[in-house]
Structure 1
Amino acid sequence: MRIEYHRTLIADRIRNQAFHDALARVIRPDETTVADIGAGTGLIGLMAAKLGAREVLLYEAAEVAGVADAVIRRNRARVCHLMPCHSMEMEDPPRVDVVVSETLGNYAFEENIIDTLADARRRHLKDGGLMIPARVRQYAVPVISDRIHRELTIWDEVGFGIDLADAREMSLNNVYVRSFTAGELLEDGAAAKVWDSVTLGSDRKGTRRGEASWKLGSAQTVYGFAYWWEADLIEGITLSTAPDAPRTHWEQLYFPLRTPMHLAAGETVLVTLRSRSSEETGTHLAWTAVHFDRDGASKARQAMDLDKGWIP
């Protein structure tokens, strides 16, 4: 059991406070029923109980469900009921007023929250009920610092007359969890653009595709792309993994380029990102970057694929 992972969640005060505040806004004491999907150690479900929920159903299929059961008992949370299964496996589930799920990753959808909450809206949520989170937006921005690129291309510097180009290629077809400073990003990160937006519960497409482009005002070298997300829990309460947001246990992601793109002023770089997530096959990511000249003609194109970055 990865109890250390759950400790990092419990230690994330920004995350915890945001979910607590969202629940406090929607729970009517002694009336509201709640389903906590992917309950982990039970923290969010217990928050709902402490805020006065009439009944809380905690769905957890992993081994940590045993911890949640013990925590519920220790806190004498009689309104909490542990369901040791995945919510999508539950037959004829009780319908609730609020569905809450903190199953977000560094890549927002790596834990299949889209499929899970689409099913929850169909089968777990009452008509007129609320989904927390409600929406997720995914951002991208060019990285103009060579810091991570130098780290990933160390294969070129090993020496001894040995060519490790194949290993280098795999490194550059991977996605990396990293933290960025503003100065490492185009326009200090202000150039970040939304390439995908999902309304959780309503959107059922676990396969995502989107693009963003930037016309540069001055010459820059682009080494890759930084990624982060924003989640609207409810109206007015948002969690963000952006570099300038309050620090959480989540970080940004780095999507490398195989070869840095040197762009002159007035030229454009475009990135297309694609993802596919499922319980059976995990998360697949692919990204393509194109360098256009001032007249819109393509000068260079690079296609990267996470499947090429894993050793079979």
Structure 2
Amino acid sequence: MYRKIVMLKQSSRNDKTFKWGQITLSQRGFLQGICLSFRAGERLVVLTKTSSDWWWAELRGVCGYVPSSYLQPSDPGKEEEDPWQDEEYFGNYGTLRLHREMLSDRPRTEAYRQVILTNSPHLRGKVVMDLGCGTGIISLFCARLAQPKAVFAVEASSIAEHTKTLVRQNGCEEVVTVFQCRAEELSLPSRVDVLVSEWMGNCLLFEFMVESVLQSRDRWLKEGGMMWPSGATVCLVPCQAGSYYAETMCFWEQLYGLDFTALQPLAQMEFFSRPRFSHLLQPEDCLATPCDVINLDMLSLQVTDLEELNGQFIFAVEKAGMFHGFTSWFRVQFQNLDRDGTTLELDTGPYSEPTHWKQTLFMLDHPVPLVGGETVSGNILLHRNPVWRRHMTITIQWSISSTEDAENCQVQTKSFPMWR
């Protein structure tokens, strides 16, 4: 369980400092684990209970393994902060900065416009909910392009006041009604035929707006109604990241004629212990064909399913290169209302036009040279933080094998908190 904890036991050293350094962990395939150094009485945050003896934790912005027997809960009776961090979350969406970024993302915005335009004959006379409508761009598309009976535009942040103005300014007030409230507090005059939302975050689920979408589906979507997106897919590929590795690690080799390599272990923990958002993967840096690791059906997905999502992968290395890490992105699908099997897709990967999400990079602790014909296989786990509900940890377990020596491979695991 993710929680704040405090160090109790003390070492025999006079300074009462635990200094574990870098050790080899034999349990459950954790190899060459980075372990945190800490003093008795310090507080840290447990991110993942990777085994009964070793937990993956964070201390002062640095992540590593800690021995579970040295920890105990900190201030169990103290009231925790808001686990949804609503004030911060909705505060960010109450400013124009994020909305400008999203509206400037043409692949994203055009995908929704095209879905509505393509389905306009079937939307005529229907009731649509636009959940998390922001400035109301999707609601305005519906009203202008499809002649629906009504559009319920739902937005919890303060931008909703301006959305009402935009609806009036664009002559859509007879069709579009703006509801300024959280989805969980929503009261509508009727159920809806279509629930549309742009809920996706980094690695698809980050911020977990999808929970509000699923709860709204269960409360307000008519039987036989449609969800947009109707499906979602998490994609993964082993990759090179030479320029980022040089920027964060090689930088410390020689500075002004001086040896700064002593800072490389610190740089590794600081830059590689968390995912790198807004990474732009070049297609030529993919070491294999990308793999779909997780698929979601938005009509059948349940809120409880979000706690842990697990996917498998097997990559056949197609060319020699330096294996720096894995890159992830997502695709979402929009099924047509006539259910003829036709779908429109929004792809945020490296082979499509860049979106504001870009891709997410997960760096290994140390790069590994690969040659064509080798295989990288394993699994990926998206584990929702049990306390901080908009956050999650992504754990990737992998091994590398060759056709000549398929049985001699080491299993390695690394966990990446996003963000807590």
For the superposition of Structure 1 and Structure 2, which TM-score range results when normalised by the shorter chain? 0.7 to 0.9
The residue type equivalent to 2:275 in the other structure is V
Where do 5+ consecutive residues of structure 1 fail to align?
none
Larger relative contact order (C-alpha < 8 A, sep ≥ 6)? 1
Is contact 1:156–1:165 with CA below 8 Å preserved after alignment? no
For residue 211 of structure 1, report the CA deviation from its aligned partner: 2.2
| TM-score, normalization by structure 2 | 0.67
Which residue of structure 1 aligns with residue 243 of structure 2?
A: 147
Contact between 1:290 and 1:298, CA under 8 Å: does it hold in 2?
Answer: no
Q: Which residue matches 1:56?
A: 151
Structure 1 range deviating more: 238-247 or 296-305: 296-305
Q: 1:44 to 1:208 in 2, by over 3 A?
A: same
Q: Which of these two proteins has the greater Rg computed from alpha carbons? A: 2
Deviations 1:106-139 (A, max 9, x none): 3211132442332232111111111100111111
Say whether the 8 Å CA contact 2:362–2:416 is kept in structure 1. Answer: no
Q: What code does the residue aligned with 2:102 have?
A: L
1:198 — aligned with what? 296
Cα-Cα RMSD: 2.5
> How many residues were matched structurally?
307
Instruction: Compare 205-214 and 260-269 and name the one that shifted more.
Output: 260-269
The secondary structure found in structure 2 opposite 1:98 is strand
What percentage of residue pairs aligned between the two structures are identical?
A: 24
Gaps of 5+ in 2: 1-93, 336-341
Kindly state the Cα deviation for residue 145 of structure 1 after the two structures are TM-superposed: 4.4
Deviations 1:276-299 (A, max 9, x none): 347734233222232234343353
Name 2:270's counterpart in structure 1: 170
Distance apart, 1:248 and its partner CA: 2.4
Separation in 1 of the partners of 2:158 and 2:389? 18
AA partner of residue 306 (structure 1): F
Equivalent in the alignment of 1:186 = 287
Letter in 1 for 2:389: E
Deviations 1:112-171 (A, max 9, x none): 244233223211111111110011111111113422222232574364574352342232
1:281–1:243 Cα change, 3 Å? closer
Please, what TM-score do these two structures have when normalized by structure 1?
Answer: 0.88
Shift of 1:53: 1.3
1:195 aligned partner, one-letter code: V
Match of 1:232 among 320, 333, 343: 333
Distance in 2 between the 1:135 and 1:298 partners?
A: 38
Checking the alignment, whether the CA contact within 8 Å between 1:120 and 1:201 is kept in structure 2 is no
Secondary structure in 2 matching 1:248: coil
1:41 alignment partner AA: T
What's the CA shift for 1:216?
2.9
Task: State the partner residue of 1:303.
Answer: 413
Pick closer, same or farther for the CA change 1:163–1:101 going to 2, 3 Å.
same
> 1:43 maps to what in 2?
137
Contact 2:330 2:349 in 1 (8 A): yes
